[in-house]
Amino acid sequence: MRRFIRYLYEYEQEKKMRNVGFVKIEQDMDQCVIHVHGKGFRMEEDTKGLEVYLFWNQDGKCTGINIGVTEPPSPGLNYQLCYTPEDMGEKENYDLVNGIILKDISGHWYAAVWNDDVVNVCQMEKWEMAGEETHEKEKSIAEPSEEQEVKECRDRYKVRKIQRKDMVCLPRCEWKHANNSFLVHGYYNYHHLILTVCDGQLKLGVPGVYHPQEAKAAESFGFPEFLPFEETGLALTEEETNDKETFGYWCRDVRGSEDCADIQRKI
């Protein structure tokens, strides 16, 4: 078991500005637990939690993978993160991790670095699995008509409406999303979530309306995709939808069997 403590600093580019707390790390081959303690974060009054990234740096490049969201740090922050090699996109990334980054929606950056490397955390690039960029380019070669696209989506998606407590059907490593501030906000506004499968990939969906500003917030909390309600085939009550706006679901990929989204299951 490897145990150590590192200070948490506010950053501007690669420069440490001020100390805002510390982190305790306990790591072995199977899992790592990080305890974050801090105060003095420069937060707006109506702010949400801090995005959490684990990062590594190679050849002067800082690469991070989103691993969760904290509660709003008011006045202080006490946050625990537990992750395994399976949470890192590729297991090889587990041993590369060199620190933790906390980022708020206003553009303030905070980080703790495991070693003494100078890291430009504010230039962090989000990690993507190899082949994703090529896949996106291939999809954009021939865009289908809107009517055809809606039909194809209806054929491809398997959708199940769930309650927040039903997230226990997902692997344990995905339970952390139940405390995601964006998810909690959407759930209490519309009283449900969804699990959906598209092209073999299980996704977790948070109800909401489409708006450019909302899209930025959704992406910052790890829900970058928007699925229009019309493409789900769901039947909702008045409390569960919004007929005055472009209603749908902000989605993210999650691990788990397609059976989790089986619409024949009892909810």
Backbone φ, ψ for residue 109 (5° rounding): -120, 135
Decide if 38 is inside a domain: yes
Sheet holding 61-69, edge to edge: 76-83, 32-39, 15-27, 2-12, 109-113, 99-103, 51-58, 61-69, 125-126
Mean pLDDT of 238-253: 91
Local confidence band at 112 (pLDDT 50, 70, 90 cut-offs)? very high
Q: Which amino acid is at 188?
A: Y
Confidence of residue 102 (pLDDT cuts 50, 70, 90): very high
- Using the predicted structure, report yes or no on whether residue 148 has a pLDDT greater than 80: no
Same domain? For 103 and 152 the reply is: no
CA distance 193 to 204: 8
Residue ranges of alpha helices (H) inside 12-108 are none
What pLDDT, on the 0 to 100 scale, is given for residue 142? 44
Helix (H) or strand (E) holding 86: none
Residue 254 CA: distances (Å) to CA of 2, 14, 68, 93: 29, 32, 12, 18
Please report, for the domain that includes residue 68, its CATH number: 2.60.40.200
Joined together, the tokens standing for residue 58 give: 């190679």
137 inside domain = no
Q: For position 202, what pLDDT does the model report?
A: 92
Report if residue 134 sits inside a domain: no
Asked if 156 and 109 sit in the same domain, the reply is no
Bridge partners of 145, per DSSP, are none
Do 166 and 211 fall within a single domain?
yes
Under 8 Å between Cβ of 16 and 9? yes
Is residue 108 located within the same domain as residue 163?
Answer: no
Give 29-44 pLDDT, tens digit per residue.
888 999 999 998 886 6
Q: Are residues 190 and 111 both part of a single domain? A: no
Give a yes or no: residue 136 inside a domain: no
Question: Which DSSP helix (H) or strand (E) runs through 97?
Answer: none
Residues 155 and 234 in one domain: yes
Query: Of 64, 94, 126, at which residue does a domain stop?
Result: 126
Strands (E), the chain: 2-12, 15-27, 32-39, 51-58, 61-69, 76-83, 99-103, 109-113, 125-126, 158-162, 193-198, 201-209, 225-228, 247-253
82 and 153: one domain?
no
Query: Measured between alpha carbons, how far is residue 133 from residues 75, 140, 197 in Å?
Result: 40, 11, 21
What is the average per-residue pLDDT within 1-30? 92
Which of 58, 91, 126 is a domain's end point? 126
pLDDT tens figures, 38-73:
998 886 655 678 889 999 998 888 999 888 788 887
- Domain end, chosen from 77, 93, 126, is at 126
Cβ(84)–Cβ(73) below 8 Å: no
Q: Same domain, yes or no, for 60 and 111?
A: yes
Percentage, residues of the chain above pLDDT 90: 37
What predicted TM-score, i.e. pTM, was given to this entire model? 0.54
Q: Which range is least confidently modeled, 64-68, 93-97, 225-229, 230-234?
A: 64-68
Confirm whether 90 is domain-assigned: yes
Residue 267 lies in a domain: no
Place of tokens 């590594």: 56
pLDDT at 7 over 50: yes
Task: Look at residue 259 in the predicted model and tell me its pLDDT.
Answer: 80
Q: How far apart are CA 185 and CA 48, in angstroms?
A: 10
Do 182 and 116 fall within a single domain?
A: no
Kindly report whether the peptide bond that precedes residue 207 is cis, defined as omega within 30 degrees of 0.
no
Token output for 120: 């430009």
More confident residue, 212 or 148: 212
Query: 149 versus 239: which is more confidently predicted?
Result: 239
Could you tell me which residue, 258 or 111, shows the higher pLDDT? 111
Residue 194, domain member (yes or no)? yes
Q: Map residue 42 onto helix, strand or coil.
A: coil
121 with 157, same domain? no
Residue 149 contacts residue 157 (beta carbons within 8 Å): no
Same domain as 110, residue 19:
yes
In terms of residue numbers, what domain contains 31? 2-126
Mean pLDDT of all residues in 104-114: 90
In the chain, how many domains are there? 2
Residues 110 and 166 in one domain: no
82 pLDDT higher than 90: no
Residue type, 88: M
